[in-house]
Chain A
C-alpha cells in the first residue's frame, strides 16, 4: 500500500499532502469542552503529564507541529537531561507515517498540550516502568496485570 502510494505521480501526491495538512489543521482545531489546554511552560507541561499518568487521562498535543493523541505511560528525565514522555500514540501522525505505537516525546517539542477527560484503563502490555531511556522516572503507570 505504502509502496503504491510512493509510486503515484508527484502532482497527485502534492494534492494528498494538501489534504493531510488540512486534516491536521482541522484536527488541531477540534476541542471538546472537557479538554483542558495547558500553557507551554515546562513546569505546566510536567504537572499536566504527571497528573494525566496518575489519572490515566489521554493527552493531545502537537509534536513538531503535528497532532498526536497519546496514552502517557512514563514521564522522566533522559540521560541527556531532557524531560521526556514515553507514551502510546493512538492517533496522529509522525514523519515515518506510522500512527500507532510506543514513542518517546521530548516535552520541549510539545505544544498545545491538552489533558482530555478521556481515560484509558491500564498500561500497554509493552510498558516498562524502568524505561532505559530515562535516568530519572518521575511518574509511571503500574505494570498491567497478566491476563
Chain B
C-alpha cells in the first residue's frame, strides 16, 4: 500500500520533470512559428558556460533607451521595451513602459542600470549557443569583419507577446554556422 502511494507520488514528480522541459520547448516553438521577425545589430564575443555548453555572448547595439520623465525605474525591474524599425530594416528600442503595451511591437526586458539620461536594458537575447569549437571561430570571423569597418553582424529574433527567441546569428550576410564551416575548410 505504502509503496503504491510512493510510486504514485513519484509519477507525479516525474510528470512535472517532463512537463517543465516540454513547456519550455512549446513556448519557444510557438514564438518561432508565429512570432514577428526582427533583426538586431550585435557584437558577438566568446565566453563559456560549463553546464549549458559554449556560446557567443551577444552585445546588442543600442541596448538602451532615453529615461522617461516621471517614471522611476530601479535595477532589475521588469519593463517592456518598444521596438521600431529603422531605414535599414534593423530593429531599435525607442522607449520603455512599465505596463504591457497594446499595439506596438515590444520585448520584455529588465533594467540593468541607469546612467545619466539613459536606461540600459538587460535583454533576453544575450547569448547564442554554438558547438564548442565553433564559438571561438565565430568570434574570430566577427573581429575580422569589424576591423574592416563592416559592422554587419546581426541576430534574427522572433517575438510574440514580448517573448523573444533567437532564430539565427548572421555575420557578413551569412549564417554564422555557414561562415564557420567555410572558415574551417579554408
Do A and B come together as binding partners?
no
Chain B residues near A (Cβ < 8 Å)? none
